[in-house]
């Protein structure tokens, strides 16, 4: 499994508008059929540049799904965000490959 992580710093002047928009954007990304789930998280760090930082983590079953997302959908979806928010939203992307999952077990008393 792969995680496509998009981290974004959002200018306070557009923060409320962006929060409304990101829900429809995440839905549009999921509607491409290349991802199985998404998580929206707030990054808990004070940025020197200001603003609020978020991360969206999209889960893909295969490298092929991720590559097809790039080929078929990424440019249009990125362009939409750039046109809407310009330099009020800074984003960078990271790809992660899950090596293993670990889960907590109940402690015996």
**Residue ranges of domains in the chain:** 2-97
pTM tops 0.85, yes or no: yes
Q: Which has the closest alpha carbon to 1: 71, 40, 65, 59?
A: 59
Q: Which has the closest alpha carbon to 26: 75, 81, 63?
A: 81
Q: How far apart are CA 68 and CA 57, in angstroms?
A: 17
Topology (CATH) of 2-97? Alpha-Beta Plaits (3.30.70)
Question: Which segments of the chain have a pLDDT < 50?
Answer: none
pLDDT digits (tens, 9 = 90+) for 30-59: 999 999 999 999 999 877 778 999 999 999
């Amino acid at each position: 499994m792969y995680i496509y992580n998009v981290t974004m710093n959002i200018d306070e002047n557009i923060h409320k508008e962006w929060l409304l928009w990101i829900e429809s954007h995440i839905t549009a990304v999921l509607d491409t059929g290349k991802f199985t789930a998404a998580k929206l998280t707030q990054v808990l760090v004070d940025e020197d540049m200001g603003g609020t930082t978020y991360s969206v983590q999209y889960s893909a079953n295969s490298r092929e799904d991720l590559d097809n997302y790039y080929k078929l959908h990424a440019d249009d979806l990125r362009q939409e965000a750039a046109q809407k928010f310009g330099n009020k939203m800074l984003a960078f992307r990271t790809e992660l490959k899950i090596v293993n999952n670990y889960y907590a077990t109940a402690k015996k008393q």
